[in-house]
Chain A
Amino acid sequence: MKSLAAQNSPFADAGFQLEVLRQPLPQGTVFPAFGQRLLDHGLWPLKPSHISILQVNLGKMCNQVCKHCHVDAGPDRKEIMTRETMQLCLEVLAKTDIPVVDLTGGAPEMNPHFRWFVEEISKLGRQLLVRCNLTIILANPKYHDLPEFFRQHRVQVVSSLPYFTASRTDTQRGDGVFDKSIKALKMLNAVGYGHEDSGLTLDLVYNPAGAFLPGNQKALEGEFKRRLQQGYGITFNNLFAITNLPISRYLDYLISTGNYEPYMEKLVNAFNPAAAANVMCRHTLSVGWEGSLYDCDFNQMLDLPVEARAPRHLRDFNLEALSLRDIVVNQHCFGCTAGAGSSCGGETVA
């Protein structure tokens, strides 16, 4: 399977996606504007509370081509962050007290400067998360020592595993991904990850393999723990239940399968003001592979940078100015405000 970009699909174009989300449905249905919903609940304009997470996207290159991927990542994507841009990230961290750095991709480990970047962030004493797709650990011998590398730098590993069965996982992430993911989880467990008293955190990310919303995060976590322990002897710390946002490949999937209208209807009807008040963009700042700044990774993929009055690149980084910005929202944001809310850290409403 190729990326949408390699297929020259219109869904690779951010403007096309935004137009799909904006336009009325063929039978005339118009979904309410997300911004209007915020206004109705006294949340417009949406402002940052405090910036506590710098989420850095190291690029779109990935060893997998998942059907729901909002990045449209894959082996055919060559856009990756340079060492110079990483250096700008380090300079930003050095002059601020942002406590958490969240590395994502693509497969961030495929960036040739990944290990150097992790080491440099470690020296700055920040809490470091790596969003590891698990299979990368087995993709090439040069990655087999990643669990040990993560352990050495006390990296919090956050890994996608959409389900505890092979069929549903492979449907979303590709043939053979489940078996490889299980092997990789065992390798992480073997160096201490996921054990309660090790101080090495292994979190899993669940997102539905289809056109439905995630259920209660705590209940799903319990079921995942039971099934992974019983079936494979695997342990982990927390499960993050994440809603699929209607962009990129997932939007393409929704449209092509006739699920777009009922899915959007479900998201809109499940709008929760408490979740809207807790959205991750209020405390996270997203950095693109070329150093541009975004309110979140989804806005990044939709080419929606932070508002024009705020600094838009690492070169011009100013925490105070960014803290005063209005957060850019659009129709896809209904995905973060449905039900118990959704973020890169799972539910946002207790």
Chain B
Amino acid sequence: MEKTYYNPADLGKFGAIAEFQPTLAAKFFDYYGEVFKEGALTEREKALIALAVAHAVQCPYCIDAYTTGSLEKGADEAQMMEAIHVAAAIKGGAALVHGVQMMNKVKEVMM
């Protein structure tokens, strides 16, 4: 076992997940490739969404990949940071909106 849970070199080995389950890996990577092609959204917009999600799920591999990916697709620094703020706002909002649930419960159990 590695001494750390994350190794940057492992990002480049992502494709090796096929070693233990080739069929599902092939389906996943085909799907993955299709998702990031230009469609109703541009490749740049998709890279920025991926960057935001990477921060929300706190995946260091994804942050590494989609920081570079966003730069390659032509995103500027302000766009990248705004995308992360969107992720932060949704994460923060998701916590806070549960405050209503807490309030409902308080009102239920309090006199």
Contact = CB atoms under 8 A, between A and B. Distances in A.
Interface of A: 163-165, 167-168, 208, 210, 212-216, 219-220, 223-224, 265
Contacts, number: 34
Nearest to A265: B12
A212 B44 contact: no
Interface string B66-82: 00100111101100000
Secondary structure type dominating chain B contacts: helix
A223 B74 contact: yes
Given A208-B71, A210-B71, A212-B71, A219 B76 contact: no
B60 to A, nearest CB: 15
Top 5 A-B pairs, shortest CB-CB distance = A215-B73, A215-B72, A220-B74, A223-B74, A212-B71
Nearest to B67: A212
23 contacts: A163-B76, A167-B77, A168-B77, A208-B71, A208-B72, A210-B71, A212-B68, A212-B72, A213-B72, A215-B43, A215-B72, A215-B73, A215-B74, A216-B43, A216-B73, A219-B42, A219-B43, A219-B73, A220-B73, A220-B74, A223-B44, A223-B74, A224-B74
Contacts of B74: 215, 219-220, 223-224
Nearest to A223: B74
A163 to B, nearest CB: 7
A215 B44 CA distance: 9
Contacts of B77: 167-168
* Most chain B Cβ neighbours within 10 Å, of A163, A165, A216, A220: A216
Interface in B18-59: 38, 42-44
Contacts of B68: 212
Interface range, B side:
10 to 19
Contacts of A215: 43-44, 72-74
Contacts of A164: 76
B54 to A, nearest CB: 16
Contacts of B73: 215-216, 219-220
Given A208-B72, A219-B44, 12 more contacts: A163-B76, A164-B76, A165-B76, A210-B71, A212-B71, A215-B44, A215-B72, A215-B74, A220-B73, A220-B74, A223-B74, A224-B74
Nearest to B68: A212
Contacts of B44: 215, 219, 223
Contacts of A220: 73-74
B14 to A, nearest CB: 12
* Most chain A Cβ neighbours within 10 Å, of B12, B42, B73: B73
Contacts of A216: 38, 43, 73
